[in-house]
Amino acid sequence: MLSLFIVALAGALALIGLGGGLYETSVVDRSWPDKPELIQPGRGGLSRRYFWIPAHTAFEIALIAALVATWSAVTVREWLLIALVSHVVMRLWSAFDFIPKALSFEKADPATIAPDAARRWTRRSRLRLPLDLLTCIAVLAALIDLATQT
């Protein structure tokens, strides 16, 4: 029963992350290349970390707890490991590619930011969403698998 709740919570948090990502790419990323001040906290712009740090931390804790709670159930564990791998790939790609570039956009003089370079970043950033979707589907598949076993 507890393991079902933990896996369901991980699923809810994965979906919340996907929703945040879809909103960010549809609304924020569509606007800021023409108005970089929008994502520059030093100039009164928004700071996306106030969503992503708690959202990712909560999901990662729930996912690890779900893996620990269901380790003996082989097929559930396999789905959760797929979710973990897709999430880790997305996080590493972000850490070494997207975040450093985003930080430089956030700190640069808005006049020096080329809109085309900013738009390229936003277009590539959308490619993280399929990884988020895969994470969601894998956690929901783990939930189905666990439900049929308990």
CB of 129 to another protein, least distance (A): 11
How many other CB atoms sit within 10 Å of the CB of residue 107?
Answer: 10
The tally of CA atoms less than 13 A away on the side-chain side of residue 5 is 2
Is residue 11 part of the contact set for another protein (CB under 8 A)? yes
Nearer Cβ to another protein (58/88)? 58
Q: Quick one: CA dihedral 72, 73, 79, 83, positive or negative?
A: negative
x/- site string to another protein, residues 119 to 138, per CB under 8 A?
-----------------x--
Rounded (10°) angle between helices 74-93 and 128-149: 160
Tokens of 16: 């919340």
CA dihedral 76, 82, 88, 90 (to 10 degrees): -130
One residue of 2, 6, 27, 62 binding another protein per CB under 8 A:
27
117 binds another protein (CB under 8 A): no
Give the residue, chosen from 6, 14, 69, 76, that forms a contact with another protein under the rule CB under 8 A: 14
> Binding string, 30-69, against another protein, x = CB under 8 A?
xx------x-----xxxxx-xx---x--------------
Residue 24 sits in the site that holds another protein (CB under 8 A): yes
